[in-house]
Structure 1
């Protein structure tokens, strides 16, 4: 899912085997009885969205179950309830909104979810206020917890687009697409150096670092991590740094950042993964001062969730949303363009 959160952690997946002596019963009633913490309405929405399957196939809510059938239930996880979640009137950069979904652009530095040390001022606090302020908008079940319609997330210091579900039906429909990795998401990143090859695919397992538990690393074996695939394309090669377009085939925590470090091209100014120091060029005087100036312009990892495309939960048509690079990344990129252009003209690129 998002570069910053493992997609599998955002969903509950359960399997139920229908007892050989089970009498015919509607699937929505059967699942509600088996999973009483999930409302019948939410179960029905899950069935309609294809998130609840019988023997691997979608069915209708009135499907009569037969003995021996296997039910797979995939539903977005509603996290632990946050007592007294504060709905705050915080400005939101909303790029699109209708009765079912909302597309919001998260600026760098904004935390997505409340948590220890961040009880307020988050995107969720702002969304809670925005959704509840509109009386004609149905309140998503679970709006009292820390999810508020979010079926994916990005890290505090990553900027970009997020889709928010405004109804439970939309939540189920979008969640299924995220779980199936059918959502089309494009990132852009400024990375150190020039990847070789310029366009390629990184296919390596990702898991927690065995010693440094706050970061992730790559592994060659499945037992040590989860399968992760990142496709990248070089948009601009500036010798010292490159602007890349990246697409995720899987959604592991910190996937882009870990994969780019693994090939020697960490994301520019990424403190956790080594991008906050000079990785290409000399470490002396003028160049060092120049790089520090670029760090000051973009004081966070230069990673942006640029676009997102998916099948709309109401119209069932494909929709696509795009955004420009934020000012801090654009400013750093322009400074590199000027510097490299001057050096190339004078044939004085540092080796």
Structure 2
């Protein structure tokens, strides 16, 4: 039986944990893996949490399965065992994990619900991806489906289901239809959020447990701010 936990320890919100996996709710601003900034990554925070919780001597095993952009919040899944990691990697590579995001935009899309298909081309110097209607050299197909699920005072809440997982995919595709995400200066929103975050949240993750073969569904509460709170 999987052990479900909803707790916050050392600023780490654990959504689910059992012997093989741990799922946490990433705060905007946290990086999942180490990068050139040298800031402490979320993976190290989770390792420290497990080491302390189980009083483990030596190094703690933790496998990074997927990432979220730094200004984004929400679900991040880690493997706790070397048995689980390759199985989870395969699950994500084969697009067998279903990922749903929430995005807050100021400009409503022209259609309340639509499947978007673009060809993404990444510019590594700019750390930015461009969504093209037609295939261009070195581009990758990107597909998502959005729908407007709530109208706020000045914004709209979109629910986004990903079919592919491209670099900055949701940010670029929504921007390309005139609905950049709140706070996302890189993709055309007119003003940044004070904390440097963007209003994009990995809300739901559904997958088959890599060892127990049971269906798992995780839902992450969005960050505690007035606009996200208005969505609940």
User: Which residue, 120, 128, 131 being the options, matches 2:47?
Assistant: 128
Over residues 312-349 of structure 1, what are the superposed CA-to-partner deviations in whole Å (9 max), with x where a residue is unaligned? 12220101011222112xx125679xxxxxxxxxxxxx
Residue 332 in structure 1 maps to residue 227 in structure 2: yes
Query: What secondary structure, in the 3-state scheme, does the structure 2 residue paired with 1:221 have?
Result: coil
In the TM superposition, 1:308-347 aligns within 5 A as: 308-328=205-225, 331-332=226-227
Residue 213 in structure 1 maps to residue 126 in structure 2: yes
1:97 aligns with 17
CA distance in 2, matches of 1:139, 1:90: 19
For the 8 Å contact 2:114–2:147, the answer to whether it is kept is yes
User: Which residue, 237, 240, 249 being the options, matches 2:151?
Assistant: 237
Greater relative CO (CA pairs within 8 A, separation 6+): 2
Q: Which runs of 4+ in 1 moved over 6 A?
A: 136-140
For the 8 Å contact 1:257–1:266, the answer to whether it is kept is yes
Query: What secondary structure, in the 3-state scheme, does the structure 1 residue paired with 2:197 have?
Result: coil
Task: Give the drift of 1:224.
Answer: 3.7
Residues 229/137 of structure 1: CA separation in 2 closer, same or farther (3 Å cut): farther
Over residues 61-86 of structure 1, what are the superposed CA-to-partner deviations in whole Å (9 max), with x where a residue is unaligned? xxxxxxxxxxxxxxxxxxxxxxxxxx
Larger Rg: 1
Residues 214/203 of structure 1: CA separation in 2 closer, same or farther (3 Å cut): same
1:32 aligns with none
Q: Please give the TM-score of this superposition, normalised by the length of structure 2.
A: 0.85
- Unaligned 5+ segments in structure 2 are 1-8
For the 8 Å contact 2:180–2:187, the answer to whether it is kept is yes
2:93 aligns with 179
- Unaligned 5+ segments in structure 1 are 1-88, 278-291, 337-351
CA distance in 2, matches of 1:129, 1:323: 22
Task: Give the drift of 1:187.
Answer: 0.4
CA distance in 2, matches of 1:308, 1:216: 24
More strand by share: 2
Q: Please give the TM-score of this superposition, normalised by the length of structure 1.
A: 0.58
Task: Give the drift of 1:213.
Answer: 2.7
Cα RMSD (Å): 2.6
